[in-house]
């Protein structure tokens, strides 16, 4: 899944997308670890959706990062 969407991700990649891409970990691997679909991870990477606080916490642990998301009210 990661490679299929790579061209689109280059056009609009979020902070999460840049961190995931630079980590070298595939969206499929992350999806399996977080128990979500690879498409969900791709959507986080390109800004279509944002991970839930629970998934963000797991993603930060997996990638050893401190990504934060400011949600609009």
With beta carbons less than 8 A apart as the criterion, state whether 59 and 48 touch: no
DSSP state of 36: S
Beta-carbon count within 10 A of 44 CB: 26
Q: How far apart are CA 61 and CA 73, in angstroms?
A: 26
Read off the pLDDT of residues 12-56 as tens digits, 9 standing for 90 and up.
Answer: 788 899 999 999 999 999 999 999 999 999 999 999 999 999 999
- pLDDT score of 13: 82
Q: How far apart are CA 52 and CA 70, in angstroms?
A: 12
- pLDDT score of 73: 63
């Amino acid at each position: 899944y990661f490679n299929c969407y790579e061209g689109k991700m280059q056009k609009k990649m979020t902070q999460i997308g840049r961190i995931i891409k630079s980590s070298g970990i595939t969206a499929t691997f992350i999806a399996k670890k977080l128990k979500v679909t690879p498409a969900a991870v791709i959507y986080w990477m390109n800004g279509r959706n944002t991970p839930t606080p629970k998934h963000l916490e797991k993603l930060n642990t997996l990638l050893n990062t401190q990504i934060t998301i400011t949600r609009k009210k």
